[in-house]
Structure 1
Amino acid sequence: MAGSNPSHTPMEPRLKLSKVSSSLPVDATEYRGIVGCLRYLVHKWPDISYAVGYDSRFMESLTAEHLAAVNRILCYIAGTIDYGCHYKKIGAEVKLLGYSDSDMASDVDTRMSTTAVLFFYGSSLMA
């Protein structure tokens, strides 16, 4: 991935993957190893947590579409390698503020919903 073009987003907008696909199968060991490493990196890049969680759903029957989605996350990391989280205390009182959202039955296979939460500590995002 060293010579790849960086991506501006960790996941293609409106990406819908399925466990049943007509694409060519890929090596499950490689895919699982990459996803495992990405799950560790979620602590440094909280903005990839949704994409990594989404790609983690497809560990059983892997195809080239699933591997392309994981490779896009790697391209995003390559383009944001110098980014990081900074938490500053501004003022005497810092508030914790939370938001939540769900997408109501968007999973193609099970029709289950995906829920996400975000918390802000002052003006800094905490995932």
Structure 2
Amino acid sequence: MRKYGYCQSNSDHTLFLKHRQSKVTTLIVYVDDMIITGDDTDEISRLQEQLSTEFEMKNLRGLKYFLGIEVARSRKGIFLSQRKYVLDLLTEVGLLECKPMDTPIVKNHRLGEYSNQVPADKVRYQRLVGKLIYLSHTRPDIAYAVGVVSQFMRNPSEDHMGAVVRILCYLKSSPGKRLMFSKNAHLNIEGYTDADWAGNILDRKSTSGYFTFVGGNLVT
């Protein structure tokens, strides 16, 4: 990619960018899958030809599915979802037929680490929370709950596992909920943040929350 004039991102080493005549071409790669996009159609065609001389490649045309993320397009913009990912996860843990929950976490929960807590399966807990962390990329509605359960990865209890199961039961109520990136005429960056005050019941630390918009679309 460097030979073809692309710069490797310092924040994500799988991302390569090339600016040419006020246009940009982007390539991101994961093992043997890659996405090529941008507004420089000539450069995109040239890059595809150059890469095909280096590797055996197949062009799948418009992006529809990548690493568990489903992509759909409309006149309003692009929709990202992980419906299949959610259903596969529920099937894996035996909760596909569970009763859906209205919220991903109990209001005013008192999750913490206590001396009398009953230990949970640590490996299973870490695996499930890891999958939920990845899912929260397109499901910001579970981000807070996932942030809470991820605090107990080192020493999970049955109460913590119960909180994870509740998140899964919440997902059953809307497995196909989508995140929309609409077409807007600007790339303004807006950020919002807030925190509770001494919300942690054990060390009295505050918990922060934030979200960032680029061009009117939620990115973090």
Q: How far apart are residue 105 of structure 1 and its match? A: 1.1
> Is the Cα–Cα contact under 8 Å of residues 10 and 73 in structure 1 kept in the other structure?
yes
Look up the SS of the partner of 1:87 in the other structure: strand
The residue aligned with 2:121 is 27
Any residues of structure 2 matched to 1:79-98 within 5 Å, and which? Answer: 79-90=173-184, 92-93=185-186, 95-98=188-191
For structure 2, which runs of at least 5 residues remain unmatched after alignment?
1-94
Any residues of structure 2 matched to 1:5-24 within 5 Å, and which? Answer: 5-20=99-114, 22-24=116-118
Look up the SS of the partner of 2:194 in the other structure: strand
Amino acid at match of 2:199: S
Higher Rg? 2
Correspondence 1:51 to 2:158: no
Amino acid at match of 1:31: Y
Greater RCO, 1 or 2 (C-alpha within 8 Å, sep 6+): 1
Q: How far apart are residue 122 of structure 1 and its match? A: 5.2
**Given the two structures, how large is their TM-score scaled by the length of structure 1?**
0.85
Deviations 1:48-99 (A, max 9, x none): 1111111011123322211110001111112121111111124x34543321
The residue aligned with 1:104 is 197
Which consecutive segments of 4 or more residues in structure 1 shift more than 6 A? Answer: none
How many residues get paired? 126
Deviations 1:24-61 (A, max 9, x none): 32211211111111111111212211111110111233
Over the residues paired in the alignment, what is the CA RMSD in angstroms? 1.9
**Percent identity among equivalent residues?**
36
Q: How far apart are residue 21 of structure 1 and its match? A: 5.5
For structure 1, which runs of at least 5 residues remain unmatched after alignment?
none
Instruction: Provide the rounded CA distance (Å) in 2 between the counterparts of 1:15 and 1:108.
Output: 10
**Given the two structures, how large is their TM-score scaled by the length of structure 2?**
0.52
Which structure shows the bigger proportion of residues in strand conformation? Answer: 2
